[in-house]
C-alpha cells in the first residue's frame, strides 16, 4: 500500500524523537546525579575545611596558652627562685666540703648579714624574692660557686671576711644554738630543749583528751564545739604549767624559743615563752622520729647563685 500522506515517515520520526527524548532524560538524570554527588562532595569538603579550621584555631589557642603558662612559670621562678632545704646531715656535709676549700688568692668570701643591705646585685635579687626574716649567710669562691644560705636563727650583727679559707665559726654557732622547742597541737604538744643539732637534751609530751572537730550543724555542733574549746583550753593550761617548769630550769641557757604547730595554740602560748620567738611550720610530731623535728629546727635553706663578677660591698 502506497503511503500517500507520509504517515509511516511521521511515525518513524516520532519514534526517533521519543528515543532521543528518552536518551536526553537519561543523560539529564545522570547529570543530576553527578551534580548531586558533586554538591555532596563540596558539602563534605566544606565541613572538613571548617573542622580543620576550628582544630587549627584550638591548637593555636592551646599553644598560646602553653606559651603563656611557660612564661608565667619562668616569671614565677624568677620571682621565687627555687632553693634547697638542707637537713642537718646535708648541712654537715656542706660544712665539710667548705672546710676543704683553699684559695692562694685569699679571696674566699664569708659574710653574715642581718638584712639585704650589702649583698651583691645577683644575690640581692634572690633576697628580695625569698624575704628571709633571719638574715643571710653569703659564701663565694670566685669563678667556682656562690651560695646564699637562709639560717635557722637570726643573724644579729653584720660581718664579712676574705681569706684563703671560709670563716665558718659563726655558722657552727648557728648549728649549735641552744633552744626551747614547742610543737603545739591540740591534745598533743611537745616541749623540748636542744643544746645543738644532734639531739634533744630533754623532751616531754603533754597529752590530753581533745574532741575531734564536729561536722554536723545546728545546736549539736555548737555544744560539741564548746566542749572542744574547753578541752583545748585545758590542754593549753597543762602546757603552760609544764612550760613554766622548763623556763625555770633552762631560761638561762637557751637563746630562742622555736614555736610551731596549730596557729591558735601558738598565739596563746607565745606570750608565756619569755624568749625571742622563731616560728616554724611544725607538723604533728612523731615520737619515734624526733630527728625530723630537729631538721625543721636547725635546717638551712640554700640558694646557688650564678656568678657575674660583682664585688661584695664590704662593711
142-163 pLDDT, tens digit per residue, is 999 999 999 999 999 999 999 9
Of 150, 119, 121, which is closest to residue 137 (Cα–Cα)?
A: 150
- In this predicted structure, what is the pLDDT of residue 1? 52
Q: What is the mean pLDDT of residues 72-81?
A: 50
Which of 111-120, 209-218, 280-289 ranks highest by mean pLDDT? 111-120
Rounded CA-CA distance 285/277 in Å is 19
- In this predicted structure, what is the pLDDT of residue 117? 85
Mean pLDDT (the chain) is 83
Query: Which helix H or strand E contains 222, and what residues bound it?
Result: helix 218-250
Q: What is the mean pLDDT of residues 295-315?
A: 71
What tens digit of pLDDT does each residue of 287-303 get?
888 889 999 999 999 99
In this predicted structure, the answer to whether residue 230 has a pLDDT above a threshold of 50 is: yes
In this predicted structure, the answer to whether residue 55 has a pLDDT above a threshold of 60 is: yes
Residues 6+ apart with CB under 8 A from 148: 119, 123, 126, 127, 136, 137, 138, 139, 302, 303, 305
In this predicted structure, the answer to whether residue 219 has a pLDDT above a threshold of 50 is: no
- In this predicted structure, what is the pLDDT of residue 60? 77
Confidence of residue 215 (pLDDT cuts 50, 70, 90): low
Cβ-in-10-Å burial (0-12, 13-18, 19+) of 125 comes to: middle
In this predicted structure, the answer to whether residue 84 has a pLDDT above a threshold of 80 is: yes
- In this predicted structure, what is the pLDDT of residue 191? 94
- In this predicted structure, what is the pLDDT of residue 76? 47
Q: How far is CA 5 from CA 10, 14, 17, 42, 176, in A?
A: 9, 15, 20, 55, 137
Q: Which one is predicted more confidently, 43 or 180?
A: 180
- In this predicted structure, what is the pLDDT of residue 141? 94
Q: Which residue has the cell 585545758?
A: 234
What tens digit of pLDDT does each residue of 94-143 get?
999 999 999 999 999 999 999 988 888 878 888 888 888 999 999 999 99
Cite the DSSP H helix spans in 81-215. Answer: 88-100, 121-130, 169-175
Inter-residue contact 301 to 119 (CB < 8 Å): no
**DSSP code for 198:** S
- In this predicted structure, what is the pLDDT of residue 211? 66
Q: How far is CA 49 from CA 57, 63, 115, in A?
A: 12, 21, 63
SS3 174: helix
Chain mean position to CA 109: 31
Amino acid at each position: 500500500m502506497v503511503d500517500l500522506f507520509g504517515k509511516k515517515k511521521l511515525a518513524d520520526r516520532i519514534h526517533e524523537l521519543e528515543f532521543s527524548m528518552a536518551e536526553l532524560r537519561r543523560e539529564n538524570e545522570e547529570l543530576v546525579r553527578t551534580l548531586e554527588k558533586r554538591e555532596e562532595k563540596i558539602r563534605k569538603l566544606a565541613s572538613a575545611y571548617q573542622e580543620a579550621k576550628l582544630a587549627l584555631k584550638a591548637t593555636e589557642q592551646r599553644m598560646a596558652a602553653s606559651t603563656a603558662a611557660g612564661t608565667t612559670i619562668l616569671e614565677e621562678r624568677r620571682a621565687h627562685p627555687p632553693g634547697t632545704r638542707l637537713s642537718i646531715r646535708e648541712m654537715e656535709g656542706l660544712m665539710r666540703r667548705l672546710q676543704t676549700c683553699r684559695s692562694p688568692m685569699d679571696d674566699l668570701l664569708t659574710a653574715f648579714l642581718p638584712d639585704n643591705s650589702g649583698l651583691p646585685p645577683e644575690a640581692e635579687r634572690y633576697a628580695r624574692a625569698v624575704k628571709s626574716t633571719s638574715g643571710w649567710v653569703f659564701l663565694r669562691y670566685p669563678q667556682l660557686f656562690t651560695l646564699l644560705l637562709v639560717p635557722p636563727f637570726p643573724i644579729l650583727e653584720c660581718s664579712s671576711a676574705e681569706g684563703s679559707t671560709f670563716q665558718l665559726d659563726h655558722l657552727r654557732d648557728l648549728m649549735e644554738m641552744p633552744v626551747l622547742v614547742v610543737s603545739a597541737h591540740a591534745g598533743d604538744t611537745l616541749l623540748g630543749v636542744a643544746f645543738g643539732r644532734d639531739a634533744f637534751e630533754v623532751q616531754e609530751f603533754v597529752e590530753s583528751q581533745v574532741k575531734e572537730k564536729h561536722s554536723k550543724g545546728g545546736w549539736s555542733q555548737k555544744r560539741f564545739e564548746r566542749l572542744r574549746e574547753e578541752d583545748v583550753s585545758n590542754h593549753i593550761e597543762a602546757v603552760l604549767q609544764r612550760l613554766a617548769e622548763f623556763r625555770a630550769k633552762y631560761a638561762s641557757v637557751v637563746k630562742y624559743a622555736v614555736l610551731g604547730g596549730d596557729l591558735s595554740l601558738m598565739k596563746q602560748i607565745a606570750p608565756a615563752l619569755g624568749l625571742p620567738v622563731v616560728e616554724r611550720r611544725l607538723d604533728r610530731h612523731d615520737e619515734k622520729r624526733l630527728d625530723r623535728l630537729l631538721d625543721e629546727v636547725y635546717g638551712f635553706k640554700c640558694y646557688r647563685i650564678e656568678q657575674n663578677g660583682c664585688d661584695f660591698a664590704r662593711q
